[in-house]
Amino acid sequence: MSTTTQTTDRPTGTDARTGDLRVGIVGAGLMGADHVKRITERVSGAVVAAIIEPDAGRAAAAAANAPGAQAFTRIEDAIAAGAVDAVLIATPGQFHEPVLLPALAAGLPILCEKPLTPDSTSSWRVLEAEQQLDRPHIQVGFMRRFDAEYQQLRALVESGEAGELLMLRGVHRNAVVPDTYTQTMLITDSVVHEFDVLPWVAGSTVASVEVKYPRRNRLSPDHLREPILVIIELANGVLVDVEMNVSVQFGYQVATEAVFAESIARIGQPSGLQQWKDGRFSVADHTSFVTRFAAAYDEQVQRWVDAVRLGTLVDGPNAWDGYKVALACEAGVTALNTDGPVPVVVPERPAFYA
Ligand code: ISE
């Protein structure tokens, strides 16, 4: 990895020599490092040109998978050096806005890991900044929309061939979570995905959120009261329930059952190696979202790179979707300590996002 900075008169949008999109990865933690490998090894038409990460150890570890990438500690420096054509933000949500705003001011296309920002006020500020540009530049990393089974389920709903969709019943289970994971993060870090993908599947928006507490799992970290049952009413009358559970110990499961008037459909069932041994039948299951959604992440990043190279810039959930999810998360966080449903009121969508 080189730390030299230079400006060139290359054509905007790509590396002058290879024609590849020069992506700057902001944040080299679990997801950032995973995206570095993804872009280097599996995504075509892009190269990791910069790693923007204040922690030198993390930066060096990620850079080992990004030959030739420059190192920066601040997004402003990568922009000033003309080192990147597009930015992939993979820091925790509370650090997104300070990266989004300078990247937007520089007119850079952005793929921003979820959540857009942690609350709707800051998300709205981001929308306002984006609307200074000629068109949306931000795609939000709700990768489940790129999962083949979620896409099939959405197509089934749209086709009407199973009859009317009545209910969606989901489970979202993590083996364990780190000590830094808080009660609020059950909503803002985990259920955040359901707030995006399930209304997208059902063709609607979140109207209210309620949280119910079953018995607490004694294996949960002391500071967590979970699992929780999240009940989400959609504006079209479809009722969604999600078991959010982050201490199941054995693995990672994200599954949905759709109840239609004339049919039941399921996605997210274990589909790996099946084995019969010692009078037992077993199927390999996932232990983390990194493998469970690996194909979806690949598809998401490839399609974003293609959209940026084509000039459409966004091919997936945009900042308006991120804002709606921020509203749902706020209701969800309130619902953690409220009896009954908490309404979600979505303002009129700015014409910019039509
Ligand atoms: C994590 O941050 C993710 O985004 C995963 O998809 C989710 O399953 C997990 O609960 C979160 O902590």
Give the other-Cβ count within 10 Å of 329's Cβ. Answer: 27
CA–CA separation, 214 vs 340, rounded Å?
Answer: 15
Whether residue 309 sits in one domain with residue 216 = no
| d(CA 190, ligand 1 centre) in Å | 5
Q: Where are the alpha helices (DSSP H) in 203-292?
A: 289-292
Which CATH number belongs to the domain containing residue 57 in this structure?
3.40.50.720
| d(CA 35, ligand 1 centre) in Å | 15
CA–CA separation, 81 vs 323, rounded Å?
Answer: 31
Whether residue 275 sits in one domain with residue 231 = yes
**Closest residue by CA, ligand 1 atom 2:** 189
Residue 82, SS3 per DSSP? coil
Ligand 1: residue of 143, 145, 184, 189 to mutate (most ligand atoms within 8 A of CB) is 189
- The rounded mean pLDDT for the chain is 95
According to the 3-state scheme, what is the secondary structure of 151-210?
A: HHHHHHHHHCCCCCEEEEEEEEECCCCCCCCCCCHHHHHHHHHHHHHHHHHHCCCEEEEE
Any domain includes 353: no
Which CATH number belongs to the domain containing residue 240 in this structure?
3.30.360.10
Backbone angles phi, psi at 320, to 5 degrees: -65, -40
pLDDT, tens digit, for every residue of 7-24? 333 334 677 677 899 999
Whether residue 198 sits in one domain with residue 335 = yes
Share of the chain above pLDDT 90, in %: 93
Range(s) of the domain holding residue 164: 148-290+327-343
**Closest residue by CA, ligand 1 atom 6:** 289
Whether residue 201 sits in one domain with residue 133 = no
pLDDT at 2 over 60: no
pLDDT at 4 over 70: no
Whether residue 307 sits in one domain with residue 285 = no
Tell me the two tokens of residue 216.
């607490």
Ligand 1: residue of 174, 184, 185 to mutate (most ligand atoms within 8 A of CB) is 174
Residues 6+ apart with CB under 8 A from 277: none
CA–CA separation, 143 vs 123, rounded Å?
Answer: 19
Any domain includes 255: yes
Whether residue 182 sits in one domain with residue 99 = no
Give the other-Cβ count within 10 Å of 61's Cβ. Answer: 15
Whether residue 274 sits in one domain with residue 158 = yes
Any domain includes 105: yes
Any domain includes 183: yes
The residues lining ligand 1, judged by C-beta closer than 6 Å to any ligand atom, are 174, 189-190, 193, 289
Any domain includes 169: yes
pLDDT, tens digit, for every residue of 31-70? 999 999 999 999 999 999 999 999 999 999 999 999 999 9
CA–CA separation, 105 vs 108, rounded Å?
Answer: 8
| d(CA 323, ligand 1 centre) in Å | 19
Give the other-Cβ count within 10 Å of 67's Cβ. Answer: 10
CA 287 to chain centre: 18
Residues 6+ apart with CB under 8 A from 119: 326, 329, 330
pLDDT, tens digit, for every residue of 85-123? 999 999 999 999 999 999 999 999 999 999 999 999 999
Number of domains in the chain: 2
Any domain includes 156: yes
**Closest residue by CA, ligand 1 atom 7:** 190
Whether residue 159 sits in one domain with residue 78 = no
| d(CA 290, ligand 1 centre) in Å | 9
CA–CA separation, 94 vs 309, rounded Å?
Answer: 29
| d(CA 192, ligand 1 centre) in Å | 9
| d(CA 30, ligand 1 centre) in Å | 11
Q: Are strands 46-52 and 21-26 parallel, antiparallel or unpaired?
A: parallel
Residues 71, 76, 82, 86: what is their CA dihedral angle, to the nearest 10 degrees?
90
Residue 15 has what pLDDT? 74
Whether residue 334 sits in one domain with residue 214 = yes
CA–CA separation, 50 vs 222, rounded Å?
Answer: 40
H or E element that contains 56 = helix 56-63
Give the other-Cβ count within 10 Å of 128's Cβ. Answer: 11
Residue type, 334: T
Any domain includes 12: no
Residues 299-321 have a mean pLDDT of 98
Residue type, 123: S
Question: Are the C-beta atoms of residues 240 and 328 closer than 8 Å to each other?
Answer: no
Closest atom of ligand 1 relative to the 293 alpha carbon: 6
Whether residue 246 sits in one domain with residue 161 = yes
Question: Are the C-beta atoms of residues 221 and 247 closer than 8 Å to each other?
Answer: yes
